[in-house]
Amino acid sequence: MEFDYIIVGAGFSGGVLAEQLACRRGAKVLIVEKRRHIGGNCYDCYDKNGVLIHLYGPHIFHTPHKRVWDYISRFSEMHLYHHRVLGLIEGRKVPIPFSLATMDEILPKSLGQRIEEKLIKQFGMGKKVPILKLREENDPDLKFLAEYVYEKIFAFYTEKQWGLKPEDLTPEVTGRVPVYISWDDRYFQDRYQGMPVEGYTRLFERMLDHPNIKLMMNTDYFEIKDEIKAKKKIIYTGPVDQFFGNCFGELSYRTLDFVFENHPTERYQETATVNYPNDYGFTRISEFKLMTGQISPTTTIVKEFSREAEIGKDELYYPMFTDEWLGKYKKYEDEAKKLDNVLFLGRLAQYKYYNMDQSILASLEAFDRI
């Protein structure tokens, strides 16, 4: 079999590039996908109770990029949705990330007002300050706030999620949960936010519905790679260490275990997601109906448990963002740069923390270069 491009992986990184190559270049594209479904970790389906669930955990679409929003809107009407998260802190559910709205709920009014004035003076209204940076402040009130947020919200949640202390992770991770100097209680502040009305799987079906795109599902690329040929390039979105036969050793990843529960009530919790930084073994509970806008007599939730991934057995969710593992990845990155006929793209291939919109933008920009 011979194609212009062979794409390994049918998630956003591979799917977007396949669509662009087929529609705008008339290229013949083969997508090889190890799973039995398209959509990667964004795959969704209806459970036995008729509730639309995200099988690999909740995925909320948000982006500051008009190009990305316009692109994704070609394949699905978007249900406008602004994600809000609560965290269980000392027995109370308060807005996350920590903001002026959070501070107003948990601190005495006079103390909260004093700290608010100092935060605005020091950093400016609307700024997002990484907690580790805030801990460097010498002002006693700011230092009190930093230690409170670090201990009550950040430290234990990070240890549950990553198995490490915050100080052992790179700023790419620790900067994602800042102290937000604003009264905006939304989890994301991007201009464009929403959820595909018919779900992500239907979105992918439309995206890949082209006569020049062929799908080979339930297939390990490495088992058939000698039987298929790419005239121009292979676009690889799988684990980069696996591509090179783990020649520098296996990289480390975190995986997630999910426990789905259906409850005979229209609503289970106050917001779509509630984080549990200190209590219980799971990191958060998400309720799908509150994200998708679906109406049904029952509701389905999911509890998430994070742990180290067992390579070859578990789904790989998050690359380990420590200097040690990023240093090991650099060896694979150097090898990847030597290959002119292979493009490494996406979260696993680039050992990078990608949001959905970042994956889409990276694929659009990769097409521009091609």
Domain map (residue ranges) of the chain: 2-38+208-252+319-369, 85-180, 254-308
CA atoms within 13 A on the CB side of 167: 4
Say yes or no to pLDDT of 351 above 90.
Answer: yes
Q: Which amino acid is at 354?
A: Y
pLDDT at 2: 81
Q: What is the pLDDT of residue 175?
A: 67
Q: What percent of the chain has pLDDT over 70?
A: 99
pLDDT tens for 173-204 read: 766 678 999 999 999 999 999 999 999 999 99
Q: What angle do CA 213, 217, 218 make, to 5 degrees?
A: 165
Interior/surface letters 27-37, b for 16+ CB within 10 angstroms, e for the rest: bbbbbbbbbee
pLDDT value at 43 more than 90: yes
Asked if the peptide bond before residue 171 counts as cis, ω within 30 degrees of 0, the response is no
The residue written with tokens 């030597």 in the block is 338
Candidate from 54-58, 247-251, 351-355 with smallest mean pLDDT: 351-355
Q: Which of 232, 261, 239 is nearest to 316 (CA)?
A: 239
* 359 CA to centre of own chain: 10
167 confidence band (pLDDT: 50, 70, 90): confident
Angle between helices 200-207 and 12-25 (to 10 degrees): 30
CB-CB contact of 35 with 24 (8 Å): no
* Cα 248–chain centre separation: 27
Question: What six digits make up the tokens of 66?
Answer: 């008009």
Given a cut of 90, whether residue 305 has pLDDT beyond it is yes
What's the CA gap between 215 and 189, in Å, rounded? Answer: 36
- Distance between CA atoms of residues 148 and 151, nearest Å: 5
Residue type, 89: I
pLDDT digit string, tens, across residues 131-165: 889 989 999 999 999 999 999 988 888 899 999 88
Class assignment of domain 2-38+208-252+319-369?
alpha beta
User: What confidence tens digit (pLDDT) does each residue in 53-103 have?
Assistant: 999 999 999 999 999 999 999 999 999 999 999 999 999 999 999 999 999
